[in-house]
A and B are shown apart, each in its own frame.
Chain A
Amino acid sequence: MADEVILKVENLTKRFGGIIAVDQVSFELKQGEFLGLIGPNGSGKTTLINLITGFVKPTSGRIYYRNMEITHCPPYQIACLGIARSFQMVRAFHKIPAYKNLIVPLYSPRVRKLSGGKYGERDDMAIDLLDDFGFERDSFVPYKPAGSLPHGYLKRLDLARCMALRPELLILDELFSGMTMSEVSATLPLIEKFNREGLTIIMVEHRLKELFRVANRVIVLNFGRKIADGPPREAMSQKEVQRAYLGTETEG
């Protein structure tokens, strides 16, 4: 069922007062796709993610996940369906040891149903998972309070938290912002591997070079509207996209 539509967004609109953050956006996403979501600052990428994951309710439009309408579901239900998201601004439980940060998704109804796990076992699951993201199990890093870790670690902790949920759709909001070059080149292959193994991914990213190495499709937003949708090279060569990225409306 490689071609199954996993996510369908229909005429999605979100207004904040006078601002239209997302304007009549529609698209379909197939199982296994790797979608890059790009656009200038303030073009509505984060808002679109918040709408899909239930953190913000749309002004109008509908969202379907595997043919089930999720437009009005609360965030935790959407997460339990298998849609995991990271946050653009780093969010973590700062006073809690890094590995204990993963207890929350591991304790969710979704993961408990999928893999069980008793007290103590979840600790091992968390340590195993973090090991894959550069928190070496034999070091002190996984046991330190999250708040004491550098930015790049927190970003990867956020990714690990998403993966702990055993997602079927992974949505990453500028995961690479603030990461060092070496952290990016260590993380990128992991994400690529998840996608090869069948995980559907939506990735918001300003680092286009890295994004285009992995994404096989991009959607470009500008002022909340979808202005391009297709393979990276084609989408980027469109006039409107180039204008949006140059930031001017008039042609030179």
Chain B
Amino acid sequence: MAEAIKYRKERIDRGIKARSDTIYMLSSYRELLYILFPRVLPISFLLLSPIFIGGGYWGKVIFYSCTFALLALSWDLLASVGLISLGQALFFGVGSYVAGGFNFYFKWPLFLTIPLATFGGALICTFLLVPVLRLRGVYFSMVTLILPLLFDHLIETLEILGGTHGLLSLSPFPSHWMAVYIAVVSVILCLFGFRRLLHEDYGFVLRGIREDDRVVMAGGINIYWYKAQTIFIAAMVGCFAGALMTHYYQFVGRSAFALDNTILPLAGVVLGGSGNFAGSVLGTFILVPLSEALRALGGLRMALYSLILIIALATLPEGIFHYLERKYHQFERMVSI
């Protein structure tokens, strides 16, 4: 008889998870580490990178990355209820102009304009989008794409809110560090907050709406009310990002409604992987610094940038985060039989 096998390989992940994704059974210090590592790593990276990189040019890049990460998180939240936005620039622009306008015309300090832009801006965006909530799929996307263009043209032709020149010399943050840390902490809060939310009962209602809204209606839930709430939360995050950028630059202009503010976060989500929020943050934190680094190349920049994006998508269509997550869950250990 062959020698008895005493050990077998087991995925650490399998051993810890008690049937479902959210219930863990931890029995050792190392298992705790296995659970904590993926959470501690991004938090410490986000909190420490501004210190290591310092102020200067790359300090600014960290700040940009954060604002775009917020827009990407906002996009991913909308997607979780099945709304595909092509108008993150709407949130960004409305937030920027509410903060900029109140600061410029009424001299409100930034600790008032930013919360006002967050809530007031989100209300404006929600009211604009609620009438089209019944539109499905691409029709909703089209409307979100058009609205920022509309605002852009209104500001240009009516010469309101500074017209083509924009609003200048707005109040700055007391320091670069304050701006960066507000941005970084917001990204962390949104990232973990949204991940948590989607595991709550509320989140399962949102996911249900994305998968089959008729079943949700038959379950006694008003899908339009939930979609409106989701738009409000997503708009708050996007408007907040815009307000931060306005005061960081001390300027707001028509560029706030530019297509870039839609495309870049979306590209970040696609690169990192959608549906889990972590991918959105990871993707933007790769893309934004990358596009800055390529700035030195001048005209070739966009070409190279696009090439990198295409290669990344062709090799990892599910997104970088999903790939990493899968690999991490495949780690094995020996267990006695």
A40 within 8 A of B: no
Most chain A CB within 10 A, of B201, B202, B205, B207, is at B201
B53 within 8 A of A: no
**Contact present for A107 and B217 (CB under 8 Å):** no
- In the complex, what's the smallest C-beta–C-beta distance from B182 to chain A, in angstroms? 30
Q: Which of A93, A119, A140, A164 is B201 in contact with, Cβ under 8 Å?
A: A119
- Rounded to whole angstroms, the CA-CA distance of A201 and B215 in the bound complex is 19
Q: Which residues of A contact B109 (CB under 8 A)?
A: none
**Contact present for A91 and B220 (CB under 8 Å):** no
- In the complex, what's the smallest C-beta–C-beta distance from B15 to chain A, in angstroms? 15
Q: Which residues of A contact B212 (CB under 8 A)?
A: 91-93
Q: Which of A76, A84, A96 is B222 in contact with, Cβ under 8 Å?
A: A76
- In the complex, what's the smallest C-beta–C-beta distance from A46 to chain B, in angstroms? 13
B135 within 8 A of A: no
**Contact present for B201 and A122 (CB under 8 Å):** yes
A189 within 8 A of B: no
**Contact present for A100 and B215 (CB under 8 Å):** no
Q: Is the interface of B mostly helix, strand, loop or mixed?
A: helix
- Rounded to whole angstroms, the CA-CA distance of A100 and B219 in the bound complex is 13
**Contact present for B202 and A104 (CB under 8 Å):** no
**Contact present for B221 and A95 (CB under 8 Å):** no
B216 within 8 A of A: yes
- In the complex, what's the smallest C-beta–C-beta distance from A236 to chain B, in angstroms? 31
**Contact present for A161 and B205 (CB under 8 Å):** no
Q: Which residues of B contact A96 (CB under 8 A)?
A: 204, 207-208, 211
A85 within 8 A of B: yes
A105 within 8 A of B: yes
**Contact present for A140 and B220 (CB under 8 Å):** no
Given contact pairs A87-B218, A93-B212, A97-B21, enumerate 15 new A-B contacts (beta carbons under 8 Å): A76-B219, A91-B215, A92-B212, A96-B207, A100-B204, A101-B208, A104-B219, A106-B201, A107-B201, A109-B220, A110-B220, A119-B201, A161-B215, A161-B218, A165-B219
Q: Which 8 A-B pairs have the closest CB atoms?
A: A108-B220, A79-B220, A104-B219, A105-B219, A75-B217, A103-B204, A93-B211, A80-B220
5 A-B contacts (beta carbon < 8 Å)? A74-B222, A76-B217, A104-B208, A111-B220, A143-B19
